[in-house]
Each structure stands twice: as structure tokens, then as C-alpha cells.
Amino acid sequence: MQNLNNKVNNFFSNIDALASLFFRFGIGIAFIIHGLGKFPLPPQGLIEYFNLSPALASLVALSELLAGLILIIGGFIKNPFGNLITRLAGLMIVIMMINIFAIAHPDWFITTKLFTSEQIFLLIGGVYFLIKGNRT
């Protein structure tokens, strides 16, 4: 059994960095898609549903798009700047997701709806990259 465990550990240690990369791409692409879904600017749906100003609604769409792009790009920059922008993207995601929960889904707090939604995983991803940066 120990021999099998060692073989499994050796196999996964060779591809360990891919786990963070898959997570980064998943979260980044989700934010890019959410941001692009609000184009053309200003996004009328946000303006009408949440009574946002055109400028604020546009900022939300651009922030989602940029957070996803910065998160992905930051993973390819292997220096302190890449680490910094990865953490910046994580912070942007955390701020956006907290606001989304507070404004769009206040009835979700500590319910099964919260923990079965896509949004909780986006928040967790933002927290992960805010804390971890580019460290593997």
C-alpha cells in the first residue's frame, strides 16, 4: 500500500502547479464571461434592475472583465509584479462578490442557496488568490 501511495504522490507532484492554473483559468474565465455579458456599455439590465447610474453599471461590467483578465495574466508573470496583480485581482473579486451578495442576494446568507450557488465559489476563488497570490 505504501508503494502505491508513493507512486500516486510522485505522479501528482509532477503536475501540482497545474491545479492552481486550472483554478485560475476557471475563475478568470467566469469573470470575463460575466463582464462581457454586460456589454454594450452601459449595461441596461444593471441600470434598470438595481437602479444603478450608467457610470456605476459600466464600472461593474469593466471590473468583472478586468478582474478575470488580470487574474489570468498574473499567473504568467513570474515575478513580484505578477504576484501583486494576482492579489489585486483576488481583492477585486472579493469586493465584487461581497457586494453582489449584499445587494443582489441578501436573502442567501447562511442558507443552502448560498452554498449551492456559483457565486460562493467565485468568492472562495477570490479569497484564495488574494491570500495565495502566485505562490505554488
With H, G, I as helix, E, B as strand and everything else as coil, classify residue 88: helix
Q: Which residues of the chain have pLDDT under 70?
A: 136
Q: What's the pLDDT at 37? A: 96
- pTM score: 0.88
* Closest residue by Cα to residue 105 from 95, 117, 94: 117
Q: What's the pLDDT at 104? A: 84
Q: What's the pLDDT at 6? A: 85
Q: What's the pLDDT at 136? A: 65
Query: Within 13 Å of residue 111, how many CA atoms lie on the same side as its CB?
Result: 9
